[in-house]
Structure 1
């Protein structure tokens, strides 16, 4: 499950994220119920450009000629210039992580609609909200915060379910975690972003995956996550566990070595040794 958000200000509204591919009509019908008419949003704001947050974006833009706001570091993944780094199926310990090599990571091209988020941390169509750069999960990830009522839309900088586990995703069991591990490319930046969001002391937390959570219990869970992030969230092994993928305004520029071929070679050697030992024992009988 992935969440999208409808934010209404008077007669105007904004869509935050666009979900998976194939949900254009679901989003449009939900928007019509929410707004009360079929008017398009004033804008679409993207927390980031992973496939599960922009899947329905091209289809929505066929119906809505509206601006799309994203951080400049996400631009190459929205203009066809660069693909994201490969996911890491070795981390997270669940079916969703194991399947992650099958997930799309290629760019889309919506440059005609794309607008950069400005340095003032405001979005013209979202009065009262400010955006915060919260990298780690990806280089241009942002979160949105409304000071008036301390509402935080964290995107994938935080999750309220264990996104690596198919069972947790199916049941939507409420538990606070950092970003989905298999797609996180810089763990130090992810930890810094969690600390920054914790310092906001939100009243309501909404994330890209999982149920919304509010109140003192949520803030206590946030503080615990921030204080023990390395222990709880950072994988001990994996492609990006200690060395991040590097990116600039043109996209991915450097990747740490892929450990999977090394692991596969080690397994093959171990299997060969075991087979040879078994044959030797059989021959000596």
Structure 2
């Protein structure tokens, strides 16, 4: 099992492909440039099984329907943001792009922390709100990695000045849910390079002094 990061769109939002040796894969946060992403998946000879969204800001959802329409795969989103997919005011595209991003409804609405078993993939859903009210992270123990969306970055944390953002809540989510993972866990963020839980515990200035 392996992962690949593909930065997409003007904000270089990281989409991730988690693939199995049997040729199946899961797509995390297909944010934009749908044709580019679909072509890449096809060239790799992969068959997507699902789309998992860490949250529903426009730069993380813009290519959802391109991937879904190509392979007829289900989409997973937290219940606190299920209405954001089709609402440009909520997903932020109305304000940031001068255009509108609208995505069809998700087939699976996450209501609590749970284990997901999708084909050969086993993932733990962690509720990590703060950047947005429905932000979740997906921990894959087998590859020792967590797909953290815009909760935690290398040397930084997600912004909390957007609607539904809450700085104190984000710090609590990171402390309780992400920093409790093994220190060697790779953090695969929504923007920028990968890091590890241990590195962020040691060097991330936003996390120092938090109790």
TM range (shorter): 0.7 to 0.9
Structure 2 equivalent of residue 55 of structure 1: 62
* Higher RCO (CA < 8 A, seq sep 6+): 1
Structure 2 match to 1:177: 156
CA distance, structure 2, for counterparts of residue 105 and residue 122 of structure 1? 36
Aligned to 2:166: 186
1:122 aligned partner? 115
Structure whose alpha-carbon radius of gyration is higher: 1
- In terms of fraction of residues, the more helix-rich structure is 1
Kindly state the Cα deviation for residue 147 of structure 1 after the two structures are TM-superposed. Answer: 2.4
Q: Deviations over 1:119-161 (max 9, x none)?
A: 451223163321101001111110111223431111000123x
Partner of 2:135: 141
Alignment CA distance shift 1:159-1:37 (3 Å): same
* Structure 2, unaligned runs of 5 or more: 1-11
| Aligned CA distance change for structure 1 residues 63 and 214 (closer, same or farther; 3 Å) | same
**Residue number in structure 2 paired with 1:65:** 72
Equivalenced residues, count: 195
Q: TM-score, normalised by structure 2?
A: 0.78
**Equivalent of residue 83 in structure 1, options 71, 81, 89:** 89
Instruction: Using structure 1 for the length normalisation, give the TM-score.
Output: 0.60
Partner of residue 28 from structure 1, selected from 38, 53, 60:
38
| CA 152–30 in structure 1, closer or farther in 2 if over 3 Å, else same | same
Q: Counterpart in 2 of 1:7?
A: 18
- 8 A contact 2:160–2:166 mirrored in 1: no
Cα-Cα RMSD: 2.9
> Whose strand proportion is higher, 1 or 2?
2
